[in-house]
Structures are given as structure tokens and as C-alpha cells.
């Protein structure tokens, strides 16, 4: 559908994720950008399941425009989170440059979890497999590899327990997602405390004393029906 003949001029390589803005009319390009920004805000604020119409409205375009540019929600999601993912890779790279292996490892965990707090959609985007989004997948794999290196280094330095597994990062992210899900001021504090607990569990040299825990947050209970209430 929506083939639009303009596709495929061979010189714009990298029609990577979702047919990049290659040859769009100026207004279209402008709207595309607005949509992306609106989607980014919306995803961050309410997670990946915001109604498409809400994104369109926020962007000041009609739904049709949204759908023409991003035929599926997935295409929109991968496009939106492409740079967040890049940020993550940046975090990992930065940590890899850190001469202190444990600090590098710790920083990644802390920063990633902090990002999750700031962006309600981040976790879902990260932990979801997008068979179509090649570049997206590639970049995630890159981040994973970097983290694996970080892990190995910290382990070899004797700071990280030997049985820490690569998949434990996913474990941490999902756990943090659970804590952060019902976004609130308290969520950020709770997340920090969670992370501190995790790091305490992960470290293996107990020669130095453990750092203090962030204060406990009075994590609120859910209000009834966390699902229906949204929107």
C-alpha cells in the first residue's frame, strides 16, 4: 500500500528503518518531524500504547498523515527510539572508556534505569523484538555486546560476582520497569533504591563497605484499575 512511486533512488542509500525522509515534499518532511516529536513526547509520557489519534492530534496533523508516514505503530516506535537507543550505546561506550571496571558497570545500570524513569516507553521499546527494524536490532546488539565486555571486565577485576549473567541486565530492566510503571514522583526515588539494592547484590568484593542506600520512597499503591484510568 501507499507505494508512492518516488521510492528507491539508488543514491539515497540506507532506506533503513522506515523509508527515511528521502524525497519528501517540504511540508511532508516538516510534518514528519512534528509527528516524530509528538510521538516521542507521547511515548515518554504514557508508554507505547498511546492512541495513534492522540499522537496525530499532538502533532497537529490528521490521522491519515500519521498512517501514511508510519504505516504501523511499530515503524513509528522504532524510528522514535532509534536515537534513544543510540544514547544507550553512548552510555555503554562511555562506560567502556572508564578505567575503573566496576564504576563503568555500575554507571550503565544506573543510567539505563534513570532513562527508564524519564521515558515510560523506553523499556518496552528496548525489550521488544522488532523483526523488521534491522538497524534498530543491530544497534541494540551492539549495546549488548558492549555491556558484555563491561561485565567481563568487572568480573575479571573481582568486583562483579562471577555468576552475573548477561541476561541479568534484562532482569534489572524489567524489574525497574515494574517499579516505575505507575509513574509518579516517588517512582524515581524507588527506582534509585532498587538500583542500589541490585548493585549491592551484584558486587563481589565486600572488602570495602557498601555505599548508603537512597532513602526509601513511600511507593504508592495503585489506584483501582490502573488500566482504565489512563488516557
Nearer to a copy of itself, 75 or 149 (CB): 75
Q: Per rule CB under 7 A, is residue 129 in the interface with DNA?
A: no
Residues 50-79 that bind DNA (CB under 7 A): 51-54, 60-65, 67-69, 71-73
Give the one residue of 30, 170, 205, 211 binding a copy of itself; rule: CB under 8 A: 170
Question: Taking a C-beta distance cutoff of 8 angstroms, is the pair 126, 85 a contact?
Answer: yes
State phi, psi for 15 to the nearest 5 degrees.
-80, 65
What would the x/- binding string for DNA be over residues 11 to 50, using CB under 7 A? -------------xxxxx-xx-----------------x-
User: CA separation (Å) from 82 to 86, 124, 136, 197?
Assistant: 6, 13, 6, 30
Q: What is the DSSP string of 70-127?
A: -SSHHHHHHHHHHHHHHHHHHHHHHHHH-S-HHHHHHHHHHHHHHHHHH-TTHHHHHT
Q: How far is Cα 82 from Cα 137, in angstroms, rounded to an integer?
A: 10
Nearer to DNA, 72 or 200 (CB): 72
Give the one residue of 37, 57, 181, 183 binding a copy of itself; rule: CB under 8 A: 181
Nearer to a copy of itself, 6 or 184 (CB): 184
Residue 190 binding: pick among a copy of itself, DNA, none (C-beta 5-8 Å cut-off by kind): a copy of itself
Give the one residue of 1, 13, 64, 227 binding a copy of itself; rule: CB under 8 A: 227
How many CA within 13 A on the CB side of residue 7? 10
Which residues does residue 86 pair with via DSSP β-bridges, in sequence order? none
Which residues contact DNA by CB under 7 A?
A: 1, 4-6, 24-28, 30-31, 49, 51-54, 60-65, 67-69, 71-73, 231
Amino acid at each position: 500500500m501507499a507505494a508512492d512511486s518516488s521510492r528507491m533512488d539508488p543514491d539515497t542509500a540506507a532506506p533503513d528503518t522506515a523509508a527515511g525522509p528521502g524525497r519528501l515534499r517540504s511540508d511532508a518532511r516538516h510534518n514528519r518531524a512534528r509527528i516524530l516529536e509528538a510521538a516521542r513526547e507521547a511515548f515518554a509520557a504514557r508508554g507505547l500504547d498511546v492512541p495513534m489519534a492522540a499522537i496525530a492530534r499532538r502533532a497537529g496533523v490528521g490521522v491519515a498523515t500519521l498512517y501514511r508516514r508510519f504505516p504501523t505503530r511499530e515503524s513509528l516506535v522504532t524510528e522514535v527510539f532509534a536515537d534513544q537507543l543510540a544514547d544507550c550505546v553512548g552510555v555503554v561506550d562511555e562506560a567502556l572508556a572508564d578505567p575503573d571496571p566496576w564504576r563503568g558497570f555500575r554507571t550503565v545500570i544506573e543510567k539505563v534505569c534513570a532513562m527508564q524513569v524519564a521515558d515510560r516507553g523506553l523499556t518496552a521499546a528496548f525489550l521488544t523484538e522488532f523483526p523488521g527494524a534491522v538497524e534498530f536490532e543491530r544497534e541494540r546488539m551492539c549495546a549488548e555486546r558492549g555491556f558484555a565486555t563491561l561485565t567481563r571486565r568487572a568480573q575479571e577485576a573481582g568486583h562483579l560476582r562471577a555468576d552475573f549473567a548477561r541476561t541479568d541486565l534484562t532482569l534489572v530492566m524489567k524489574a525497574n520497569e515494574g517499579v516505575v510503571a505507575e509513574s509518579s514522583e516517588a517512582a524515581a526515588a524507588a527506582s534509585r533504591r532498587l538500583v542500589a539494592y541490585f548493585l549491592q547484590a551484584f558486587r563481589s568484593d565486600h572488602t570495602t563497605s557498601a555505599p548508603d542506600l537512597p532513602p526509601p520512597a513511600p511507593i504508592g499503591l495503585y489506584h483501582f484499575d490502573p488500566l482504565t484510568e489512563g488516557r
